[in-house]
Amino acid sequence: MAANKEEGSPKGEQEGEDPSVFESRAKGTNLHELVSQMDTFEEDITKGYIKDPSFRKVIEKMGTHPSFKTKIK
């Protein structure tokens, strides 16, 4: 009796197929892109550093704090 090549593979997976997470997701609206466009989380955090008493000291004297770096967009 010949062994089925796809016997050990998950249902529907073809030999040689290696889809990424985004390629294998359900079709429809790409929620990752939608949230990335609307979400201001990263921007809010960035703006909040200057308001924080500890981080403000670091930001104002970056030369004396070599462990910290700023990222310019």
Q: Above 60 in pLDDT, residue 4?
A: no
In angstroms, what CA-CA distances link 61 with 7, 9, 18, 35, 73?
Answer: 63, 57, 49, 35, 20
CA 65 from chain centre, in angstroms, equals 28
- What are the pLDDT digits (tens) for 12-53? 556 667 777 767 666 777 777 777 777 788 788 888 988 999
With cut-offs at 50, 70 and 90, classify the pLDDT of residue 1: very low
Contact 50, 59 (CB under 8 A): yes
User: Does the pLDDT of residue 9 top 80, yes or no?
Assistant: no
